[in-house]
């Protein structure tokens, strides 16, 4: 087997290993968006952060746009809990208290008639909610893909 560089295989393994140690962030849950971010849809996030994505739905453009949104936040805050598993938390609220859950970032899960939030397990202790919560369980550690908002 011929290779351009005799060190190609070892260099590839070393670089792959270094890349795998990088934190993987989920922009749906790891970025500390403030209350000004009413939606986590990309077209609204760009507007909330003072610019527009003029080439929406192009993979490269969407990635570059999200990088620009994330650049508004300290990297240390975005990656702070990236190694913690994602869990689903259920808000223990009555119908009359539903707005408290909504304001806290929970979304309504119609089939189960529950207010839920996907969050890094390590962040739960930092949160101050005006209602009780139940931790339903760990999700996949890989970033979530759905947009419940």
Mean pLDDT of the chain: 83
What average pLDDT does this structure show over 112-138?
A: 92
CA atoms within 13 A on the CB side of 46: 16
State phi, psi for 54 to the nearest 5 degrees.
Answer: -80, -10
Query: What are 82-119's pLDDT values in tens digits?
Result: 888 999 999 999 999 999 999 898 999 999 999 999 99
- More reliable by pLDDT, 131 or 4: 131
Kindly report whether the global pTM for this prediction surpasses the value 0.85. Answer: no
pLDDT-based confidence at residue 144 (cuts at 50, 70, 90):
very low
pLDDT on residue 22: 74
Place of tokens 């650049």: 71
Count of Cβ atoms closer than 10 Å to residue 148 Cβ: 13
Query: What are 14-45's pLDDT values in tens digits?
Result: 676 577 777 778 888 899 888 778 788 999 99
Strands 107-109 and 86-92 turn out to be unpaired
What average pLDDT does this structure show over 132-143?
A: 70
pLDDT on residue 71: 93
Which residues does 76 contact at the CB level (< 8 Å), separation at least 6?
A: none
The total number of residues shown for the chain amounts to 149
């Amino acid at each position: 087997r011929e290779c351009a560089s005799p060190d190609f295989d070892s260099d590839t393994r070393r670089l792959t290993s270094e890349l795998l140690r990088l934190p993987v962030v989920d922009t749906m849950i790891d970025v500390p968006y403030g209350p000004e971010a009413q939606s986590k849809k990309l077209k609204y996030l760009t507007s909330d952060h003072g610019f527009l994505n003029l080439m929406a739905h192009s993979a490269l453009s969407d990635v570059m746009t999200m990088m620009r949104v994330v650049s508004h936040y300290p990297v240390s805050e975005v990656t702070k809990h990236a190694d913690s598993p994602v869990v689903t938390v259920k808000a223990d609220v009555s119908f009359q208290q539903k707005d408290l859950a909504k304001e806290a970032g929970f979304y309504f899960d119609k089939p189960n008639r529950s207010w839920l939030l996907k969050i890094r397990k390590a962040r739960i202790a930092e949160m101050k909610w005006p209602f009780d919560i139940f931790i339903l369980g760990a999700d996949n550690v890989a970033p979530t893909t759905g947009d419940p908002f």
